[in-house]
Amino acid sequence: MTDISAKQTLATGKYNWRVVDIVLAALIAVAGGVIFWAWSQGANLISVPLNAVYPPLTGLYAGGWMIPAVLGMLVIRKPGAALFCETVAATGELIMGSQYGASVLFSGFVQGLGAELIFAAFLYKKFNLPVSLLAGAGAGLFCGLNDSFLPWGWNIAYETGDKFAYIVFCAVSGAVIAGGLSWLATRGLAKTGVLASFASRKAASEPVFS
């Protein structure tokens, strides 16, 4: 009679990812994808004319792409969360048939990195509103840079002035949408009590600015 039981890895220390952290991060990426897809269906009325008139304006809604990065980190609060969530979201887009092809993976990685670096700069200890906004702006900045200067970017051929405009719009959109909305969402989620088994369970009562 065999009696095989699983030997557990030592998941101690507050920076180790537990199974529930991994599954939630991936599911936030999936939910973010569904929300973004549903939202952009409706927003097509705005985005297509924007694009026809002055394409860099599309940077104004690019923040929606980066919600998984900031939201994932605010909820899970472990190193690598922003990077992981955004990359998984990009993988989801690849599976759904993105117009960027396999290059969406690179873009997702770079965007996630933008947010991750901000959180790392605060040593993964601060998750208040200013940090969230900055992280969103960081993701947006990297998104703009990715689209304007890296080979697979779609704005690679624009003139410098237009590239600059796009990067600014992306950063602003990232801060407001990815940073601000994610922060609000985290607080709301904490109040509902669903985050009871995560590091962010007290997010609803944390100070806004310090």
Partner 1 sequence: MTSFDAASPAAVTARGWGWRHAGRPRPAVSGLDLDIRPGERVLLLGPSGSGKSTLLHALAGVLGDSTSDSSAAGPSAAASADAEDSDETGSLLIDGSPPRARRGRAGLMQQDPETQVVLSRLGDDVAFGAENLAVPPADIWRRVAEALGDVGLGGLPLDHPTSALSGGQKQRLALAGILAMRPGLLLLDEPTANLDPAGVLEVRDAVGRCLDKTGATLVVVEHRVAVWKDLVDRLVVLQPGSAADSAVLLDGSPDQVLEQARDMLIAAGVWVPGHIPATRARRGVAEGIAGAGGAGSADTGPAQLLLAAEELAVSRERPRRTGLLRGFRTVPPAPVQSGITAQVRAGQALTITGPNGCGKSTFALTLAGLLAPVAGSVSATTELSAGAGIDPYKWKAQQLIARIGTVFQEPEHQFVTGRVLDELMFGPRHLGRGEERVDELLERLRLRDLVDANPYTLSGGEKRRLSVATVLAAHPQVLVLDEPTFGQDANTWAELASFLSELLDAGTAVVSVTHDVEFSQVLGGTELTLGAPQPGLPGRTNPGVAAP
Partner 2 sequence: MRDTLTLRGNNALLTRANPLAKFSGVLLITVALALSIDWVSASVALAFELLLFPLAGLTLALLWQRGWPLILAAAVGGWSTAILAADHGRTLLDVGVWSISEGSLQLGLGFLLRGLAIALPAVLLMSCTDPTDLADALAQQAKLPHRFVLGTLAAMRLVGLMAEEWQTIGMARRARGVGSHGNPLQRLKATLGQSFGLLVQAVRRASRLAVTMEARGFGGAQRTWAREATFSRLDAWVVLGGVLIAGAAVAAAIGAGTWNMVFLGQQ
When CB distances are held under 5 to 8 angstroms depending on the partner's kind, the choice from partner 1, partner 2, none that residue 208 binds is none
| Residue of 72, 85, 94, 62 lying closest to 170 (CA atoms) | 62
**180 sits near partner 2 (criterion: CB under 8 A):** no
User: CA-to-CA distance for 149 and 49, rounded, in angstroms?
Assistant: 25
Q: What's the one-letter identity of residue 82?
A: A
Instruction: Report how many residues bind partner 2 under the rule CB under 8 A.
Output: 66
- Which region, judged by CB under 8 A, interacts with partner 1, from 30-38, 108-116, 174-182, 188-196? 188-196
Min. distance of Cβ 6 from partner 2 in angstroms?
Answer: 3
Q: What is 19-64 written as a DSSP string?
A: HHHHHHHHHHHHHHHHHHHHHHHHHHHHHHHHHHH-GGGGGGGGGG
Tell me whether residue 46 or residue 204 sits nearer to partner 1 (CB atom).
Answer: 204
**205 sits near partner 2 (criterion: CB under 8 A):** no
User: CA-to-CA distance for 151 and 156, rounded, in angstroms?
Assistant: 7
**186 sits near partner 1 (criterion: CB under 8 A):** no
Binding residues vs partner 1 (CB under 8 A): 1-6, 8, 11-12, 14-15, 18-20, 77-78, 124-127, 188, 191-194, 196-202, 206-207, 210
